[in-house]
Chains A and B, each alone.
Chain A
């Protein structure tokens, strides 16, 4: 195991993914067992020629963090695919497009001010190349990173391709708040009201993506008394995380009496910033993908 080579490639994104690796308890164990081919956290760290200079399959495992923003990055990802035996889409941007995908709502947003680039359309890594494993989170929490290191480096058991290093159960399973099954008849915002820390936020009218989001983070946001924003992506079996939470909200809305349907519609229409709330990390990987303006 001692001659395995890993590499970290994070040409875009906020840098949180590279930083998150340093928080993993298992990192020292990993560093004892691998050679590091490169740890590139800026586009300038690694040139195309340097990547081309690597032998095919020279890297045993590549951790790729950040979204795909334009054709140049597609080409580099394809090149890296040839050089790496296995690739992990590391963090929400590589996994889902991440917050960067919100740029797809702003036509013409300049994602990169590189010569000749007029901006692109954000996609998750899997839209450009085959990805072997997924490590969710923005950034991935230490527990999930440890799970990846344990699975890929410290265990003798083979890890199934397509493995997601998170829980199959949702964030709600880790939250610990009481669910009262109250009907949703008002949308509240967590900075305006003071949420009861023991009661489910949906019961209190606060939009929380816990029911549709993979667990594994320990419900850390809820424990800080703010809602889950869905950074670990959709639960297995859910194709579209944003659509799923909107559906969940719709199922919770219950008015009675005259004008019931109008009130329900009014409530759902009043969800502030529905895209930024329901699709915070998943615009780029959703069925929506982004905003398409009418042709002039």
Chain B
């Protein structure tokens, strides 16, 4: 941890290697891992704050995944009140992450901040920035701190909300919902043609979390692993056997994230989210959907779902610190799985009897996304025996297709480097 794990962020480079079998593509090596090594000997209760520094852009999801894993380690079920606050926090994190993707995933000058546009310039940049800040405010209220939440502990939350804070979160949720509806309408007016014109489609299995009704979850619930046709392969805790077990394995390419949620669930539980999803279905057909560009559309659908979930999560939550901490059993081993905006995130810990970390692992959505991109690149390179401009065009189109679901910034150029088998750079192309 603590240095970027895997290819979080944008894809700046693709490496091509010429070998006897032709041209192969790979992404640069991940920038370190180390989470397990650094966490050994640390305090269990600090794991949520350490984990969220794996990737601050997904800090909310890491914080909550760590908290859920600690619940499991301590054999405790949090109260309904604590779960509701966590669910709201997760929804606010989803909204912020998705909106960041929309804001910063279009090409522009410099860092991209100067070209704030959402959904084809149909939404005012100022309104988008304002919504982003509102989502951050909701995270701050629910999590205790805006970028790196800190309320999650095994068995609950360190503190509760005031009546004013509950009212403010509801107010924010309504504003975020109005903005999300505006974005979705704008998206359908201007971007659907683009979605339909992007042909890259990769039939892969999907991993996602669903709620008790089989609907898409933006928090925790039941894991579902479906094949490329959308048929259930395995569900619930048995999915975790894929991590270590035989048969279909999480080391083979599979999909997580927006398309995976579309493909593994039976729809969306919130009313306006479901309506928006049905508009997507009407255009693209019912799941399974493997067209990569559909993920961009799915993002705006999930913006609506996240705002509704945020609003509904605090229903019945009382002000104050009462009923937020459940009694802990002896610490041991545990797993926490959560749906993050980028995809299913799993944390697994082993604690000693004193609550000191013996082992900590995180299975990141980025690992699956990386494998998915590599499948796309392999398709683009199939049959190629020379590197020419049309081939670079195909590579670029694959990377750009993934950007909306992958990165907070596509304004940097893409670098494609051809290397020989010894790793020596032979030629470089830059695009964008």
Q: Are B3 and A111 in contact (CB under 8 A)?
A: yes
The 0/1 profile, CB within 8 Å of B marked 1, for residues 18-46 of chain A is 01101100000001000111110111110
Chain A residue with minimal CB distance to B324? A194
Measured CA separation A39–B412 after assembly (Å): 9
Which of B2, B13, B110 is packed against the most chain A CB atoms within 10 Å? B2
Q: Are B12 and A36 in contact (CB under 8 A)?
A: no
- Looking at the assembled complex, report how far the CB atom of B101 sits from the nearest CB atom of chain A, in whole angstroms: 13
* Number of inter-chain CB pairs below 8 Å: 176
Measured CA separation A122–B145 after assembly (Å): 27
Verify if B309 is at the interface (C-beta below 8 Å from A): no
The 0/1 profile, CB within 8 Å of A marked 1, for residues 31-70 of chain B is 1111001101111111001101111110100000000000
Those of B317-362 within 8 Å (CB) of chain A: 321, 325, 328, 354-356
Measured CA separation A113–B4 after assembly (Å): 11
Chain B interface SS verdict (over half): loop
Those of B146-174 within 8 Å (CB) of chain A: 146-148, 150-151, 153-155, 158-159
Q: Are B32 and A110 in contact (CB under 8 A)?
A: yes
- Looking at the assembled complex, report how far the CB atom of A139 sits from the nearest CB atom of chain B, in whole angstroms: 5
How many residues from B make CB contacts under 8 Å with A?
Answer: 64
The 0/1 profile, CB within 8 Å of A marked 1, for residues 121-151 of chain B is 0000000000011001000000011111011
Q: Are B2 and A273 in contact (CB under 8 A)?
A: no
Q: Are B132 and A41 in contact (CB under 8 A)?
A: no
Verify if A15 is at the interface (C-beta below 8 Å from B): yes
Are A111 and B132 CB-contacts (below 8 A) given A14-B56, A191-B45, A225-B321?
no
Q: Are B2 and A44 in contact (CB under 8 A)?
A: no
- Looking at the assembled complex, report how far the CB atom of A232 sits from the nearest CB atom of chain B, in whole angstroms: 13
Q: Which residues of chain B come closer than 8 Å to A23, judged between CB atoms?
A: 133, 136, 146-147
A residues adjacent to B (C-beta < 8 A): 8, 12-17, 19-20, 22-23, 31, 35-39, 41-45, 66, 69, 98-100, 102-103, 105-106, 109-115, 138-139, 142, 189-192, 194, 197, 220-221, 223-226, 229, 272-273, 276-277, 280
B residues adjacent to A (C-beta < 8 A): 1-4, 8-10, 12-13, 28-34, 37-38, 40-46, 49-50, 52-57, 59, 110-114, 132-133, 136, 144-148, 150-151, 153-155, 158-159, 321, 325, 328, 354-356, 409, 412, 415, 423
Extra 5 A-B pairs, beta carbons < 8 Å, given A23-B147, A273-B41: A20-B147, A103-B38, A106-B34, A223-B144, A276-B46
18 A-B Cβ contacts within 8 A? A14-B2, A14-B56, A15-B4, A15-B9, A15-B56, A23-B136, A36-B114, A37-B110, A39-B112, A45-B12, A102-B2, A105-B41, A109-B37, A142-B146, A191-B153, A197-B321, A226-B150, A276-B42
